Structure 1
């Protein structure tokens, strides 16, 4: 075997060993996260599915201290008007959050992306509610919104009638939406600002040269290029709304939420499972919530998020093709110029 062939074999073996080493490193670094995912996500799902087949009060083994009832818990869930009502409230929160927070977040982001004095302070004030604990937010708003709270006292001072912001079914759901929007819109605004700042300024300069005004630029440039950011935020908002529990439970409690029209699937699970001392039924509700969330998440990913992924992969493939063509042209040009690497590098950089 010639020396050049032996060198090629050694290089190939070196490349293979480097790839194997990288795979091993990735596997080792991923192992802790994988163990946590299996232990804190996958295992609880299977355990909840198993417990859901029993009428069980939560102590001892379900096979000893409980009664196997098969799919009876799931039948009760799907036919229970209270669960259907909670599901309706949850879906309303999902849709209303997208409709209310999305446009407002884009509008605030457009304004806060401009240069003016106090911009950093306003950004901070908008984002602060998002990082405050749900317990603190819920407790604070419950004190403000009580019939004898600060809001009604303020309304009475200016000659307006107060309202039962928490218990009135006609008002309570909108009270909930206001609190949710107030708390979480800061996160959406920060995401939108980050997306806007990734848009090349050259596009806006070209639009201004063509005579496009501020709002025309936002409609024709910002919104289309902000699409991936909006879709990612919408996905996170949907998942968060499906899991809504803390604010409702703290402000409305376990029983008032059902009469005020603000109960969600999560509060229903706690009320009918833990508080009713029927952990088998609560586990079945948890499985139903998981399945509903999974179906919605996979559907959204399949028909919405995959567009961005396919676009990114297409752009990457196009970039690789252009790089290969540039390299070939550079090699030809370098050969024609007597092996001048400077000319080749110039072509590759172009």
Structure 2
């Protein structure tokens, strides 16, 4: 009898293995079927354009016909020797720093004020989130009117107070700070809503228990709220940095990179010195550098910050 059972087990075991292999194959085929459209779209609209930009960056090309004037690394050499590009990089890094040190703390502070619930909190959430809903170009045009030294609101207020109206957008030393102010105003509502969602996931009982134990507001924030908000904060930091590296739509309607090319970001520099001047090879080199910077930051941030286990 035991021999018969052993024989049946020996016969049934390969059959079970074949069934498992078939089931695994079916799951893999199903997953591949779902991933194929996304993979094709990603390849068509991301991988191929990046590869083409990398190829064009080695040519001097105006965008018409097939590029034939091979210049090798000359576009990159000219790029890193360009003083306006250095200014654009510094401005982009300044946007990153201001976003991290001013915009995100402001968003967190306001999130803590409006996360308590109630009708008034809902109204203020809507008001603070409206700038993010407004289109970037529209926001830039609105603030360009506000900062206008002839007919703007700031100029009118200065004249009413008996001062000479400031021409902020025409001042090479102050124009970049107007852009920073608009960036903070435009995007803090987006990060505020991320923090509001994170705060709503924190049990109220934890804060009540901390208050009963005699913890101050700062201690409750430092040891309870902040650690539990860390997943939302690190996602917010990622969006802030990547968005700052790609800043473009606000800059162009405000200053167009001026005055005297002092307010360019990397993307507006690419548009002004590459696309509008029909120097597509040079613009492609700028795009490749920006792409490598974004990918490098993403990989490093994912490796050391966006880990499942800290």
Shared fold, TM over 0.5: yes
* Equivalence for 1:38: 43
| CA offsets 1:15-51 (integer angstroms, 9 cap, x no match) | 5544433322222112221111111111111101111
* Equivalence for 1:211: 214
* Equivalence for 2:239: 236
**Cα displacement (A) at 1:152:** 1.1
* Equivalence for 2:103: 101
Instruction: Give the SS at the match of 2:174.
Output: helix
C-alpha separation in 1, matches of 2:88 and 2:253: 17
* Equivalence for 1:92: 94
1:125 to 127, 130, 152: 127
| CA offsets 1:132-177 (integer angstroms, 9 cap, x no match) | 1112111111122111212211232233442112121222111111
C-alpha separation in 1, matches of 2:14 and 2:200: 48
* Equivalence for 1:336: none
Q: Is the 8 A contact 2:99 2:240 kept in 1?
A: yes
C-alpha separation in 2, matches of 1:7 and 1:168: 84
Number of residue pairs the alignment of both structures matches: 304
C-alpha separation in 2, matches of 1:13 and 1:273: 59
- Change in Cα spacing, 1:47 to 1:208, as seen in structure 2 (3 Å) is same
Of residues 102-111 and 3-12 in structure 1, the stretch that sits farther from structure 2 once superposed is 3-12
Instruction: Give the SS at the match of 1:305.
Output: coil
2:168 to 155, 165, 168: 165
**Cα displacement (A) at 1:219:** 1.7
2:158 to 139, 142, 155: 155
2:224 to 211, 221, 239: 221
**Cα displacement (A) at 1:274:** 1.6
**Cα displacement (A) at 1:266:** 0.8
Instruction: Give the SS at the match of 1:54.
Output: coil
* Equivalence for 1:298: 299
Q: Is the 8 A contact 1:166 1:172 kept in 2?
A: yes
- Structure 1 regions of 5+ residues with no counterpart? 312-350
Which structure has greater helix proportion?
1
Instruction: Compare CA radii of gyration and give the structure with the larger one.
Output: 1
TM-score, with normalisation over the residues of structure 1? Answer: 0.81
Matched, 1:187 2:186: no
| CA offsets 1:108-150 (integer angstroms, 9 cap, x no match) | 0111112344111110111111121112111111122111212
| CA offsets 1:180-216 (integer angstroms, 9 cap, x no match) | 0111001100000111111233322321221223332
* Equivalence for 1:25: 30
* Equivalence for 2:141: 139
* Equivalence for 1:341: none
Q: Is the 8 A contact 2:172 2:259 kept in 1?
A: no
Matched, 1:54 2:55: no
C-alpha separation in 2, matches of 1:219 and 1:49: 46
| CA offsets 1:230-284 (integer angstroms, 9 cap, x no match) | 1111111101100111111121125x2544x211111111111122221111111
Q: Is the 8 A contact 2:92 2:266 kept in 1?
A: yes
* Equivalence for 1:278: 279
**Cα displacement (A) at 1:8:** 7.4
Q: Is the 8 A contact 1:110 1:193 kept in 2?
A: yes
Matched, 1:83 2:88: no
